[in-house]
Chain A
Amino acid sequence: MRLYEWLDSRLRLKPIRETLLDEPIPGGASWIYVFGSATLFLFGLQAITGMFLALYYAPTPDHAYDSIQFIEKEITFGSFVRGLHHWGASIMVVMIGLHMLQTFLYGAYKPPRELMWMVGVILLFITLVFAFTGYLLPWDQNAYWATQVGINMVGGVPMVGDFLVRVLRGGESLGALTLSRFFAVHVLFLPAVLIVGIVLHLFILRRVGPAGPWSDERAKLGSETFAPRQVYMDAVVMLALFMVVAALALTVPFDLADKANPSDTTFVPVPGWYFLFYYQLLKYVHGPFEPLVTWILPAAFILVVFFWPFIDRNPARNPAQRRTTMLAGAAFLMVVFGLLGLSLRDLYAVPRLDPSVAHGKALYAQYGWAGCHVIHGEGGGVGPDLSYVGDARPDREWHHRHFQDPQAMVPGSIMPSFPLTDRELHDLTSYMLSLTQGR
């Protein structure tokens, strides 16, 4: 306290403290106002964990994957710190969603707060670019192919598509230059831009003040100071979020797929869940309508969201007096969550447990076939990599015949045929068919 007084006598801190803590909240503090602070907290968590991850990360294709493995396996708390960063990103997207939903519901984007909404929308898209660039950095199969698909979608933009794709990749194909520019953008450029955006967002907030409740009667009750009650609510929510992210980081392992292999075109990537609804949408549209979904719809959507305060001219803030807006919002959420649900159902369809797979796997080890084939990095490279043979050869009959007479199915194959019982043949085939990315 004496230190504070000493500093205050020189730097005159009291007015600053009063401005920061005595910010008036119309209608009083509320748990519904915590989402902005929660998002800011998660951004801070991402910044801190990101800085620490950078200690051991090497942004080149020959070392990126190994350096992440090193963090996961050799560094004390390495998988925890990486888990915090991974799950923190997801929870941050959730909090942004809730923050926007609250703003939307309360009509808090209406005059005089249009600019705050627009800066917020820019912050949302910066966050999504963060997510997209960060996804590539582990340089595993999923990272590589999901980014490949993401970049290719930009190619659908007329006139400048090819140009954009090349600029994003830094060349003809996805490689060292792509990884290093995604890394630089993720850790240097975007944080700078995001921080400026956050400052602007908060500056506007302090100039126009928080919107408060939608009903004038409640607002007329008077304003409560930001500290200590709203600060306390924000802090409690931050602690709860930290515990949720930490629990996820500790209990849900976020394993790497195999190292990125540009020549393996059989890999089917999965984007981050926050892009899944869009990923699902792309499945339903083919042919001449594809550009409609790959870029016209997203572009129109971004414009509508950005200019929303000028599109919705209804001055009322009470949801009861904003039927159309509420219906539009609900319809949008239903479409997004419907697509997300469909996508998740497709992705995480529970695989049927088959004991013959385990037996086949044991037989594979017993016959020592790892001497010839690689499965997820284990084994010798004489024969083809079998990591995803179930995707490449989904036909049971093919495997049966191939085991009995390899040369008949693959002319010139040097694989010997083995005297297998029918049961062994069946179980080995089951094991081969189970080697897919189905996850």
Chain B
Amino acid sequence: MHPEAEQNDSSGFYTPVGSRRKFFHWMTGIAASLIGVGLAIPLIGYVISPAFKRMEQSWIDVGRERDLPVGKPKQLDYVTSLKDGWMETKAEKALWAVKQADGQVTVFSPICPHLGCGYRWEDSDRTFKCPCHGSVFDISGKVMAGPAPRSLDVLPTKIENGHLLVIYKEYKAGLPKAVEL
């Protein structure tokens, strides 16, 4: 029998006592904590890591700039592959592009800034009209009538080698200022 161990009265078994006993308790606690922390940190990171990842946005080619008619909005197909976890899906959006008389190209988000419906171009009175709640915008995107709180949202564009490149973004609906989602 261990000299430091003492007989335990109630059970008849021996068990370490005093500082020896404390040491075993401490070591057990330290080992358990190290394992716990060693597991908890990676596992927490593992769980939350995809939750706050922003989708990567890149310039997408939507066609040649010279194909756009001056002074008349044209709907352009914007095709991008969206990453959804381990899956990739093709997303298609139809954007409104307007070439002004001075050659400047403006691309509008296809979503009405009021409550998020899709609007369309009315050639007869040269306005964008939203069928949901009757918002009307002029060719520069300014609100002419209806409940829309702000102008049509303008997407970032650039022209490279004659091709129009766009980054698609969505903005919160119903606010007087454009706030990115």
Contacts and interface: CB of A to CB of B under 8 A. Distances in A.
Interface stretch (B32-40, B126-134, B144-152, B169-177): B32-40
Given A74-B50, A81-B43, A231-B28, A28 B2 contact: yes
B45 A225 contact: no
B5 A224 contact: yes
Given A48-B39, A246-B38, A235 B32 contact: yes
Given A76-B46, A232-B27, A239-B34, A67 B86 contact: yes
Interface residues of B, number: 32
Nearest to A237: B31
Contacts of B23: 232
A24 B13 contact: yes
Contacts of A66: 86-87
A74 B34 CA distance: 27
Interface residues of A, number: 38
B25 interface: yes
A77 interface: yes
Contacts of A222: 1, 12-14
Contacts of A231: 24, 28
A225 B43 contact: no
Interface stretch (A51-59, A336-344, A360-368): A51-59
Interface of B: 1-2, 5, 8, 11-16, 21, 23-25, 27-28, 31-32, 34-35, 38-39, 42-43, 45-47, 49-50, 85-87
Contacts of B15: 22, 224-225, 227-229
Interface in A199-233: 221-225, 227-229, 231-232
A75 interface: yes
23 contacts: A22-B8, A55-B46, A56-B50, A58-B86, A66-B86, A70-B86, A77-B42, A77-B49, A80-B42, A81-B46, A222-B13, A223-B13, A224-B13, A224-B15, A225-B15, A228-B24, A232-B25, A232-B28, A235-B28, A236-B27, A239-B34, A239-B35, A242-B34
B77 to A, nearest CB: 26
Contacts of B34: 239, 242
A239 B33 CA distance: 9
A259 to B, nearest CB: 12
Contacts of B45: 76-77
Contacts of B39: 45, 48, 242
A369 to B, nearest CB: 27
Contact of A76 (B14, B16, B27, B49): B49
B13 A225 contact: yes
Contacts of B32: 235
Contact of B50 (A75, A221, A227): A75
B47 A52 contact: yes
A239 B30 CA distance: 9
A228 B46 contact: no
A229 B17 CA distance: 10
Contacts of A48: 39, 43
B11 A22 contact: yes
A91 B21 CA distance: 31
A325 interface: no
A246 B50 CA distance: 23
A63 interface: yes
B14 A239 contact: no
A90 interface: no
A175 interface: no
Given A66-B87, A77-B46, A239-B35, A22 B13 contact: yes
Contacts of A24: 11, 13
Nearest to A242: B35
Contacts of B49: 74-78
B172 to A, nearest CB: 27
Contacts of B46: 52, 55, 75-78, 80-81
A417 B49 CA distance: 50
Contact of B27 (A63, A70, A80, A235): A235
B148 to A, nearest CB: 39
